Structure 1
Amino acid sequence: MKKLFFILYFLIFANVVFSQKQPYVIYKANGKEVSYEKMLKSLQKSNIILFGELHNNPIAHWLQYEVTADLHESKPLILGAEMLEADNQEALNHYLIDSINYKALDTLARLWPNYKTDYAPLVDLAKDKKLEFIATNVPRRYANLVYRKGFEALDSLSDQEKKWVAPLPIIFEPELPTYQNILKMMGEHGSPKLVMAQAIKDATMAHFILKHYQENHTFIHYNGAYHSDKYEGILWYLKQKRDDLNYATISTVSQVNIHELEEENLNKADFIICVDNDMTTTY
């Protein structure tokens, strides 16, 4: 009788557990499911983490916060993000030391429209914990300049302006598969200069990550997934300068069925957050 009761209890429990809807599943690069705890344990060994997001995905933003807060309990961190541009670092620093408020930061810096919901929690975490937060991205006007005129146009920048861009001349490998894929996706609208505009962002983000990286710290960088997917983009530039560091990459994807990673999403990163396609978005 006890055995029958146990079997019945197990079946009811299993039915409840497995009938619950999951908003996301975390996978390793090879498509094997992995727990949050095991991912976190692996990330603790990294010098630099590139956390690739879908910009409007709330699960990605929530996990960015959770990973950062949990890692902070075990080791010193430095934070940085694509969503803040290098020439806004001074305003960001003033906010972090509480010499200006959010309204002033919003006035002085070119904050993304979804900053308040998606990135302010990370910046405020840095502020509360007294962590550095680095504005890593190239000012968009210079990316637009490259898109129109190529890398050569950067030579005309002033010495001050060049401080907000990766050191010139820019190393460039246009044959990287992710760069070639940009041309394929854009079709007749694609051009070599479009890829250069992507590369100047990747190169500049990598430059400021390494400039502010400190030994015995972990630098967590938040960026659009495409900037680090397939171990290219930012990571390619990082490895040109510091191939000796331990890197980890995270990507975010969206699928109808989250219980098996689709082939196209395999090997995008060390860890892939697979989010239900029906998940609401932040914009």
Structure 2
Amino acid sequence: KRCMKSLILAPLAVCACAAPPSPPPAGGLPWSAPAIQDSVSVRDGRSRRRLAFDALLDRLAQVDVVFLGETHDDETTHRVELAVLDGLLERRAGRVVLALEMFERDVQDRLDAYLAGRIDEAEFLRTARPWGNYRTAYRPLIELAKRSGIPVVASNFPRPLLRQLARKGKEVLNAAEPGHAPKQLFPNTPAYWRRTDNAVRSHRQMARGAAAKDPERLYTTQTLWDNAMGEACARALRAHPGHTVLHVNGGFHTAHWDGTVRQMALRAPSASVATVDIAPSARPQTAELAGKSSADFVVFAERRANDRRNGSFSVWVSRRLRYRLHVPKGEGPWPLLIWLPEDGLNAADGVALWRRRFGDKVAIASLEAPYIETADDLAEGGRWFRADSFYDDVGMLRGVIEDVWAHVVRHHAIDVYRVCLAGVGTGATVVGATALWSDRLGAHAVAIAPRRYRKIADLSLPLPELRDARDKARPSSLTVVANEASLSWWQGECAAHAEVGLDSRVRACASDAWLDELDRENAVRVALSLPSRPAGDKRRHVVATSVRSRHWGRLLAAQHQAAGALVAVLDTEPVTDDSEPIPTDPDPSKMGSRLPRCPGAFGGTTVVVLPDSASSAEVEAWASLEREDPIHKGSPFHRLRIADAKRPLASVLEKLHGENRKNVLIVPALFCADGTTMRALRKVVRGFEDRMTLRWRPGLGGLGS
């Protein structure tokens, strides 16, 4: 997948600013990057054996042409390229030709003039159309080549000529300046185009339209790029006998020894070749190859920083992602559910829901989403991905899910043949992407009512011809339980999965709201090889309008379904009278130790806020609970306080502050308050936010109902 970015990303914007001196060598200053040998891990692409970086350079120095496949904006990748050029210059006594995709053939004279000192750098940058990240990515290569006195080849097809070709047709190639266009165009292979179409499969219809006009796709941009670069390398070999040509290009162009590599081989069949895939990795030392070999060598490069993309630069940092784990007591082995709750909820919510549904029959690992957001009702919950970082987010989460699975299986009695990865909403979208691309996790995946899923279609599919028998991935399956609006989309997506041998299926959510909760639970039960829960007779319902209230409604639904009822969680009251509402109003006489505690390492105070409409009897019942203080009985570091019309919230907080109790959880005495109610409460106590740590919970969620 990494190497396909070069196919999709256009060349970066032209940089016309003067560049500063070259950076100092690695390791010399506090801001220096680590030595390259410490930042990479090298594998032989065919045998998968490890190599020292110097051993890689020794091997590369023995061939005629070296292709370095890169990710265009990765800092360590560019440092690897510079180290390879430096190493080849040393081993080949300067007999090296550098060739770059990043310069186009029509600026060769500008490149030659700069290397020879006939123009200065400002003029070179103004006229040679370097990519926007030239200063940080490719300038060190050019400057080393200049100091070493070696030739540099601008290998790519000129953009001005591409524009003319689009306007006037293929005849413009015959009239092009000598050397700007390849003398002869060779088609790329069907396998190459299968990988290309797969990389841009959501835009496949456009590709089919172009192919109908040009069946061999000779005049597509991709073919012109590969022909231009392949021919440029072959010409450089002939022009500089006894030299090694080092060509730097986007990884897709040279993956599987196809594209640019094949185009060069057609023109110089006797040349020896080595291809290197430079793959950014968070953990290069422990990264593993998967799938069929795509290059002679793979360099896993530590992912540290990226050049500008979509206006932003980035650095990569490691952070922990929490998950909650429940393992039943006993010997096991236990089936394992890995759960991704919907946006707005947290890991603890997931464990609470599925423990209510399963009891102590299943181990449950519920993941915390990487982004935390505050909802309209002030409840804190997670968010799985952002629109502008969807691919990075789901890729990272795939690794997190695999690591959680591996950690739980290593340390607990888990039945590895009864593992289910499941999620709802955007959590289900992450589940779908993970089931598609995980090469480690053997699980039955269940995606329930996925949301914001369209970008999954932009992910390339794992083609069967690229799989390797050495990989010991367990067979996985994906079941999508889709709502009516998304059903046809998912049917098409699962059909595409089936075309490449993936076990994917889709079915509609239950059309009867009273069967929906049961249907969701049973979809996961089937994946875990547990017996389905039968439908009850008595129909009951809970009305819930927010993410948080729906979750609390589902907890109540699970409790009543276990007792044989059939429960719906609805947005509005039902129009029929055949369903009985489940009571949700909190009753202080039933609350006891179930009252929520204020989070914090050193305890805190829970303040329950009564509505102004509370009767005197209700106020007295809550006051009695405060005097009893079941929270304090359970923990000496926690306390309960009640706020009402006579003891308003601000007064309660002022008193707590005077007692040096500054960690407070504020909870309205409702099932679940709406955003308007919670914002009104916050407005009253805004003056305390700098002096105290105030936490919010929008209600008691059926506790003691």
More strand by share: 2
Q: Conserved in 1, the CA contact under 8 Å of 2:277 and 2:299?
A: yes
| Aligned pair partner of 1:198 in 222, 225, 233 | 222
1:181 aligned to which of 192, 195, 220: 195
Cα distance in 2 between the residues matched to 1:275 and 1:230: 19
Whether the 8 Å contact between 1:144 and 1:197 is mirrored in structure 2 is no
Q: Do structure 1's residue 83 and structure 2's residue 102 form an aligned pair? A: yes
Partner of 2:694: none
Measure, in 1, the Cα distance between the counterparts of 2:100 and 2:75.
Answer: 17
Are 1:131 and 2:147 matched, yes or no? no
Where does residue 97 of structure 1 map in the other structure?
A: 116
How far apart are 1:143 and its partner, in Å? Answer: 3.9
Give the deviation of 1:96 after TM superposition: 0.4
> What is the aligned partner in structure 1 of residue 171 from structure 2?
155
Contact 2:42 2:51 in 1 (8 A): yes
Deviations along 1:162-192, whole A, 9 cap, x unmatched? 5311113x110350x2322221222242315
Change (3 A) 1:36 1:108: same
- The answer as to whether partners of 2:173 and 2:181 remain within 8 angstroms in 1 is no
Residue 54 of structure 1 aligns with an amino acid whose one-letter code is T
Task: State the match for 2:67 in structure 1.
Answer: 50
Query: In the alignment, is residue 165 of structure 1 matched against residue 173 of structure 2?
Result: no
Partner letter of residue 272 of structure 1?
V
Rounded Cα–Cα distance in structure 2 between residues aligned with 1:48 and 1:78: 9
TM-score by length of 2: 0.35
Map of 1:13 onto structure 2: none
* TM-score normalised by L of structure 1: 0.83
Work out the CA distance in 1 between the residues paired with 2:192 and 2:162.
18
Matches of 1:24 and 1:125, distance apart in 2: 21
8 Å contact kept, 1:83–1:223: yes
Q: Distance in 2 between matches of 1:172 and 1:211?
A: 19
* Equivalent in 277, 281, 287 of residue 260 of structure 1: 287
Instruction: Quote the Cα distance in structure 2 between the aligned partners of 1:115 and 1:136.
Output: 16
Indicate which of 231, 255, 264 corresponds to 1:207.
Answer: 231
Q: Name the CA distance, whole Å, in 1 between partners of 2:179 and 2:57.
A: 34
Match of 1:7 in 2: none
1:125-150 deviation per Cα after TM superposition (whole angstroms, max 9, x unaligned): 1111111001000012334566x58x
Identical aligned residues as a percent: 21
**Is residue 110 of structure 2 the alignment partner of residue 62 of structure 1?**
no
Amino acid at match of 2:261: L
Q: CA deviation at 1:158?
A: 5.5
Tell me by how many angstroms 1:55 deviates. Answer: 0.6
**Larger deviation, residues 186-195 vs 252-261:** 186-195
SS of 1:166's equivalent?
coil
CA contact (8 A) 2:69 2:255 kept: yes
How many Å separate the matches in 1 of 2:58 and 2:290?
26
- Whether contact under 8 Å (1:40, 1:71) holds in the other structure is yes
* Partner in structure 1 of residue 411 of structure 2: none
Q: Which runs of 4+ in 1 moved over 6 A?
A: none
CA distance in 1, matches of 2:172, 2:242: 38
2:268 aligned partner, one-letter code: R
Counterpart position of 1:248: 274
Structure 2 residue identity aligned to 1:260: A
2:248 maps to what in 1? 222
Amino acid at match of 2:306: T
Do the aligned residues in 2 keep the contact of 1:79 with 1:220 (CA within 8 Å)? yes
Q: Which runs of 5+ in 2 are unaligned?
A: 1-37, 212-216, 309-705
Deviations 1:28-82 (A, max 9, x none): 1132211111111111111111111111111111111111112112221111100
**How far 1:256 sits from its partner (Å)?**
4.5
1:108 to 127, 135, 154: 127
- If asked which structure has higher relative contact order (CA below 8 Å, sep 6+), I would say 1
- 2-structure distance, mates of 1:77, 1:254: 26
Counterpart of 1:121 in structure 2 is 140
